[in-house]
């Protein structure tokens, strides 16, 4: 029987370096001879990416209801699990995902103020017990992360998405919610100090992977 693969997520506020390091983590695992599926949320499937576009679009003048936002996150996740994540884990591949349900607790919970008990109902309904084996939380002060993001937006002439238009207190609440979740589940989370150079951050990631992966094989 094929051994189930492992599910690794990268989390953190805007601009902390998730997209940059998702590839790095995938490459570290591939170098160990593992089959790796790299993906992201919201998105990861054709329908999920369509829901992502709806969620991030800054253009509509009408505000998106917070419960509708929450349900769209889980609708995209249900599709992602069924179409991509679960089949990959079942055939023994490892999945590296840029954001997952901890982001919902941080953004819709911490940021928007939805009670975590309500989010947990959807988590149980959609995930039926599945949770990441390891969550790499890239953490740094919100102001410094914002500066990184500003540099990237201006270098690439990108527009701010709907979340990136939020104010500092929103992102502070997101960071606090992430850190609270990490404190509640230290066996699943590794908190990476993301304010250092890319070399330093990747050395921390490599060390964390070496320690955790060794215990699983
Ligand atoms: N969201 C939600 O509300 N609920 C949910 O359940 C889920 C998501 C799943 C889209 O996600 C939005 O969806 C997100 C939360 C919400 N909104 N926000 N904010 P996303 O992952 O696409 O959005 P993001 O956080 O805005 O991603 P990002 O802008 O791509 O940031 P990042 O991936 O963390 O950072 P990066 O692009 O890798 O790095 C930013 C810049 O810094 C870039 O120029 C890098 O080259 C540079 N960088 C990276 N690391 C370093 C170091 N160590 N030193 C110096 N410079 C660095």
The ligand 1 atom nearest the CA atom of 98? 21
How remote is the CA of residue 1 from the centroid of ligand 1, in Å?
A: 37
**Separation between Cα atoms, residue 177 and residue 171, nearest integer Å:** 10
Say what the pTM is.
0.96
Tokens of 56: 């991030």
3 CA to middle of ligand 1, Å? Answer: 32
CATH number listed for the domain at residues 7-216: 3.40.50.300
Q: Is 43 left (phi over 0), alpha (psi -120 to 50) or beta?
A: left
Q: At what angle do helices 66-80 and 46-56 cross, to 10 degrees?
A: 160
At 1 the pLDDT is: 62
pLDDT, position 164: 86
- pLDDT by position in tens, the chain (length 217): 678 999 999 999 999 999 999 999 999 999 999 999 999 999 999 999 999 999 999 887 788 999 999 999 999 999 999 999 999 999 999 999 999 999 999 999 999 999 999 999 999 999 999 999 999 999 999 999 989 888 888 888 888 889 988 889 999 999 999 999 999 999 999 999 999 999 999 999 999 999 988 788 7
SS3 track for 59-85 = CCCCCCCHHHHHHHHHHHHHHHHHHHH
Q: Which atom of ligand 1 has the smallest separation from the CA of 55?
A: 13
Give residue 56's pLDDT: 94
Q: Which atom of ligand 1 is nearest to the CA of 155?
A: 44
- C-alpha 148 to ligand 1 mean position (Å): 10
What pLDDT, on the 0 to 100 scale, is given for residue 70?
98
Domain ranges of the chain: 7-216
Residue 215, pLDDT score: 85
pLDDT of residue 62: 81
The per-residue DSSP string of 162-189 comes to TTTTS-HHHHHHHHHHHHHHHHH-TTTE
Centre of ligand 1 from the C-alpha of residue 90, in Å: 29
């Amino acid at each position: 029987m094929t051994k189930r693969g492992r599910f690794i997520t990268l989390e953190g506020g805007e601009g902390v370096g998730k997209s940059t390091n998702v590839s790095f983590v995938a490459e570290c695992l591939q170098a160990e001879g593992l089959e790796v599926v790299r993906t992201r949320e919201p998105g990861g499937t054709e329908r999920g990416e369509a829901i992502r576009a709806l969620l991030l679009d800054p253009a509509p003048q009408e505000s998106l209801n917070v419960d509708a936002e929450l349900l769209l996150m889980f609708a995209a996740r249900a599709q992602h699990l069924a179409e991509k994540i679960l089949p990959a884990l079942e055939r023994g591949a490892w999945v590296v995902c840029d954001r997952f349900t901890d982001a919902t607790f941080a953004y819709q919970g911490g940021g928007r103020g939805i009670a975590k008990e309500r989010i947990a109902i959807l988590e149980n309904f959609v995930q039926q017990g599945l949770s990441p084996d390891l969550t790499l939380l890239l953490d740094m002060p919100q102001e410094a992360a914002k500066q990184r993001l500003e540099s990237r937006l201006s270098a690439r002439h990108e527009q701010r998405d709907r979340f990136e238009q939020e104010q500092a207190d929103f992102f502070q609440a997101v960071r606090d919610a992430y850190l609270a979740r990490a404190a509640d589940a230290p066996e699943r989370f590794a908190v990476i100090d993301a304010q250092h150079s890319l070399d330093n951050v990747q050395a921390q990631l490599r060390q964390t992977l070496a320690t955790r992966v060794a215990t699983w094989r």
